């Protein structure tokens, strides 16, 4: 019995003995093994208050989550309270527990959920805690309805991670700007959201990319989506609902199996104010202006000391960037004074015609470079003495786009009638041909040259641009160049043909890369017929179709206060997948009913 009473003292004796041993006694010839790497995420073992607790105090509320190991807060933004308060919850570590407190009182008679998804990791290996949602109420009951959905980019339809989905009982248009929602949630890696324990009532639904995390919409800096109709939740929450389970975001099959009740497409609105936000003089005769909003309306424009006709200008397609050139070979002053009258937003927020003086000064770098070239001829490059142009042709798209020619500066003299075009057939017989020249409606320096006769396989085609045909605003003439092209004959190349029917509107059809981040080919259609994408290498592609309602050849964004959604985008799917796999030597033909796709 006496021996048993001494057993609890043995560990302490061992530790004390080791402290007094010489340090050399602790050395070993083989370092201790750390064992297998820990890959198990933390396990939640205790929660306070318990899930479903009612009548929780609104003042100095504290929530405690205790784990089976020491943890750390990986992302404080992952600790998300719904409905949100003005200030975010504060999370702190106390031993193996995470304590969540609030700087202000909670609202009375309100059901709250606190979500920890993506917030917690173990202290050693950084294994992420899968997540947990605690529901409690400051009133006498727990709300029971729920809703799920998907948030995606309006142009690529790619899922949008980290968007804030917000529900409002206030149905006025100003609510999303001025008030915080009555319920909210963050989207996961797949753009999926689930909002639980909400009231059985009618809501307006929005999603924003909340850059400053204040749960309010800032139209000048943030993107937004909205549901066209009012929402009344139709599903009652219970723990068995698949869509509310916590999944490993790397498990594609499980994540994609979740069903979304609603879909929201996020867009960036036109800025609410119009003004000149940037100016730059990039050369002696070249400058540009950038406007805050698109569709800038200019009533008059001139440079002091020069006739109006000496100023050449060009808007981009969105009309929010204006390029300027001076058609005068005289030496330009260090500062050009541009007088511009345009519709500008005044202090009351109203667009009014306003005359503004814009001083366009050469930057120090541009001035130094110019002086260097003027004083030392050895520093002048060949391109400093010619009308610089870029001429190119792509064998895989020449039948669609022809020969592409773009000048660095606008032309004041041209000689398109003197272009020389010829073809050489497989028997080496040469023939002259005719071409048509089309200037780009959105770029006065860009031209397309297209033969009048169709291209043929096995023929070589040559387009020669003789020297001194063109003169630009700097007074320089072009060098001569010749382009050669032959249609591809690689038997490994493939073709996609889309047989379109039900074409009631105008559509922009884009062939995209696998990641949907680059347009390979683009076609515009407004009637039934075949669209052909020839000469494709084997690989994965996507086909995007945009409904161009106003027929302006561009994708228009939405307007929240006008309840106008961005123009509709759809992707052609095979077996419910966006990706289209093109094999070598394949002729792929699909029939698409455009009316059915966009209904």
Q: Which residues of 421-459 are buried (b: 16+ CB within 10 A; e: fewer)?
A: bebbeeeeeeeeeebeeeeeeeebbebbbbbeeebeeee
- Residue 52 domain-assigned (yes or no): yes
Q: How far apart are CA 300 and CA 340, in angstroms?
A: 6
CATH of residue 406: 2.60.40.3710
* Domain edge (last residue) among 223, 250, 268: 268
- Residue 26 domain-assigned (yes or no): no
Query: Please, are residues 582 and 541 in contact by the beta-carbon 8 Å criterion?
Result: yes
- For 386, the token pair is 């010619």
pTM: 0.80
Give the model's pLDDT for residue 592.
96
* Domain edge (last residue) among 486, 510, 538: 486
Residue 158: how many CA atoms within 13 Å on its side-chain side?
Answer: 11
Residues 6+ apart with CB under 8 A from 598: 505, 545, 547, 568, 570
Burial class (CB in 10 A: 0-12, 13-18, 19+), 377: exposed
- For 527, the token pair is 């009637």
Cα-Cα-Cα-Cα dihedral sign, residues 217, 219, 224, 230: positive
Are residues 396 and 469 both part of a single domain?
yes
- Residue 16 domain-assigned (yes or no): no
Are residues 364 and 318 both part of a single domain?
yes
Are residues 89 and 183 both part of a single domain?
no
Alpha carbon separation from 413 to 287, 293, 315, 470, 487 (Å, rounded): 21, 34, 21, 5, 33
- Residue 218 domain-assigned (yes or no): yes
Q: How far apart are CA 208 and CA 184, in angstroms?
A: 11
Are residues 335 and 311 both part of a single domain?
yes
How do beta strands 164-168 and 204-208 pair? antiparallel
CATH of residue 347: 2.60.40.1220
Burial class (CB in 10 A: 0-12, 13-18, 19+), 331: exposed
Are residues 63 and 126 both part of a single domain?
yes
Burial class (CB in 10 A: 0-12, 13-18, 19+), 403: buried
Name the residue among 138, 237, 141, 228 with its Cα closest to residue 185: 237
Number of structural domains the chain divides into: 5
Give the model's pLDDT for residue 15.
35
Phi, psi of 5 (to 5 degrees): -70, -20
Cα-Cα-Cα-Cα dihedral sign, residues 74, 80, 84, 90: negative
Are residues 428 and 499 both part of a single domain?
no
Residue 247: how many CA atoms within 13 Å on its side-chain side?
Answer: 21
Cα-Cα-Cα-Cα dihedral sign, residues 587, 590, 591, 592: negative
Radius of gyration of the CA atoms of the chain, in A: 33
Are residues 149 and 260 both part of a single domain?
yes
Cα-Cα-Cα-Cα dihedral sign, residues 196, 200, 201, 202: positive
Q: How far apart are CA 305 and CA 35, in angstroms?
A: 81
- Residue 332 domain-assigned (yes or no): yes
Name the residue among 472, 469, 549 with its Cα closest to residue 507: 549
Are residues 409 and 462 both part of a single domain?
yes
Name the residue among 95, 98, 96 with its Cα closest to residue 62: 98
Domain that holds residue 254: 143-268
- For 20, the token pair is 């007094």
- Residue 158 domain-assigned (yes or no): yes
Please report the DSSP string for 126-137 in residue order.
-PBP---EEEEE
Give the model's pLDDT for residue 38.
75
Q: How far apart are CA 15 and CA 11, in angstroms?
A: 6
Residues 6+ apart with CB under 8 A from 545: 507, 508, 509, 510, 569, 570, 571, 572, 594, 597, 598
CATH of residue 544: 2.60.40.10
- Residue 22 domain-assigned (yes or no): no
* Domain edge (last residue) among 124, 139, 154: 139
Are residues 135 and 158 both part of a single domain?
no
- Residue 86 domain-assigned (yes or no): yes
Are residues 227 and 169 both part of a single domain?
yes
Residues 6+ apart with CB under 8 A from 85: 102, 103, 104, 106, 180
Are residues 568 and 503 both part of a single domain?
yes
Q: How far apart are CA 179 and CA 374, in angstroms?
A: 61
pLDDT mean by block of 10 residues, the chain; 599 residues: 40 38 40 65 96 97 97 94 96 96 96 95 91 96 98 95 97 96 96 97 98 93 96 96 92 94 96 94 93 95 95 94 94 93 94 96 78 66 88 95 97 96 96 97 95 96 97 95 96 96 96 93 95 95 95 90 94 91 95 94
Name the residue among 500, 410, 501 with its Cα closest to residue 447: 410
Q: How far apart are CA 187 and CA 268, in angstroms?
A: 18
Q: How far apart are CA 119 and CA 91, in angstroms?
A: 10
Q: How far apart are CA 164 and CA 184, in angstroms?
A: 7
Are residues 211 and 281 both part of a single domain?
no
Give the model's pLDDT for residue 17.
39
- For 309, the token pair is 């006709």
Residues 6+ apart with CB under 8 A from 458: 425, 426, 486, 487, 489
Give the model's pLDDT for residue 375.
66
Q: How far apart are CA 140 and CA 109, in angstroms?
A: 7
């Amino acid at each position: 019995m006496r021996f048993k009473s001494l057993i609890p003292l043995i560990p302490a004796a061992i530790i004390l003995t080791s402290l007094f041993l010489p340090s050399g006694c602790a050395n070993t010839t083989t370092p201790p093994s750390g064992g297998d790497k820990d890959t198990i995420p933390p396990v939640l073992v205790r929660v306070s208050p318990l899930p479903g607790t009612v009548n929780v105090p609104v003042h100095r509320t504290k929530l405690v989550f205790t784990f089976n190991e020491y943890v750390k807060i990986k992302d404080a933004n992952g600790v998300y309270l719904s409905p949100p308060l003005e200030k975010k919850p504060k999370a702190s570590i106390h031993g193996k527990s995470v304590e969540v407190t609030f700087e202000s009182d909670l609202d009375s008679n309100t059901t709250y959920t606190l979500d920890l998804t993506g917030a917690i990791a173990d202290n050693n290996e950084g294994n992420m805690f899968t997540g947990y949602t605690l529901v409690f109420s400051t009133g006498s009951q727990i709300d029971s309805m729920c809703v799920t959905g998907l948030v995606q980019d309006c142009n690529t339809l790619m899922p949008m991670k980290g968007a804030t989905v917000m529900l409002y009982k206030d149905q006025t248009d100003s609510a999303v700007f001025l008030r915080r929602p009555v319920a909210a949630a963050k989207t996961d890696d797949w753009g999926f959201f689930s909002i639980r324990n909400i009231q059985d009532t009618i809501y307006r639904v929005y999603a924003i990319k909340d850059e400053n995390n204040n749960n309010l919409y800032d139209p000048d800096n943030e993107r937004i989506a909205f549901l066209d109709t009012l929402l009344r939740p139709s599903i009652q929450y219970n723990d068995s609902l698949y869509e509310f389970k916590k999944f490993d975001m790397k498990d594609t099959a499980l994540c994609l199996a979740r069903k979304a009740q609603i879909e929201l497409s996020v867009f960036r609105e036109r800025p609410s104010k119009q003004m000149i936000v940037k100016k730059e003089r990039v050369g002696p005769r070249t400058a540009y202006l950038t406007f805050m909003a698109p569709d800038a309306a200019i009533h008059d424009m001139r440079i002091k000391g020069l006739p109006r006709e000496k100023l050449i200008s060009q808007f981009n397609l969105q009309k929010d960037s204006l390029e300027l050139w001076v058609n005068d070979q005289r030496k330009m002053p260090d500062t050009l004074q541009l007088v511009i009258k345009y519709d500008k937003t005044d202090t009351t927020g109203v667009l009014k015609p306003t005359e503004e003086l814009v001083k366009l000064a050469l930057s120090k770098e541009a001035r130094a470079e110019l002086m260097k070239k003027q004083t030392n001829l050895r520093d002048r490059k060949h391109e400093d003495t010619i009308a610089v142009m870029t001429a190119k042709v792509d064998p895989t798209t020449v039948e669609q786009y022809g020969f592409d020619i773009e000048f660095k500066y606008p032309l004041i003299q041209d000689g398109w009638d003197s272009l020389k075009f010829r073809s050489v057939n497989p028997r080496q017989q040469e023939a002259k041909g005719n071409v048509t020249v089309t200037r780009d409606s959105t770029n006065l320096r860009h031209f397309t040259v297209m033969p009048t006769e169709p291209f043929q396989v096995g023929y070589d085609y040559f387009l020669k641009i003789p020297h001194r045909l063109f003169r630009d605003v700097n007074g320089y003439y072009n060098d001569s160049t010749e382009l050669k092209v032959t249609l591809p004959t690689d038997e490994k190349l493939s073709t996609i043909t889309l047989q379109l029917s039900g074409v009631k509107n105008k559509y922009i059809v884009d062939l995209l890369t696998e990641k949907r981040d680059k347009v390979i080919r683009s076609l515009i259609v407004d009637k039934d017929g075949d669209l052909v994408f020839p000469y494709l290498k084997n690989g994965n592609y996507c086909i995007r179709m945009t409904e161009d309602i106003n027929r302006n050849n561009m994708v228009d964004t939405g307007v929240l206060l006008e309840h106008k959604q961005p123009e509709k985008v759809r992707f052609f799917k095979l077996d419910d997948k966006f990706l289209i796999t093109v094999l070598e030597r394949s002729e792929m033909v699909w029939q698409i009913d455009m009316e059915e796709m966009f209904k």
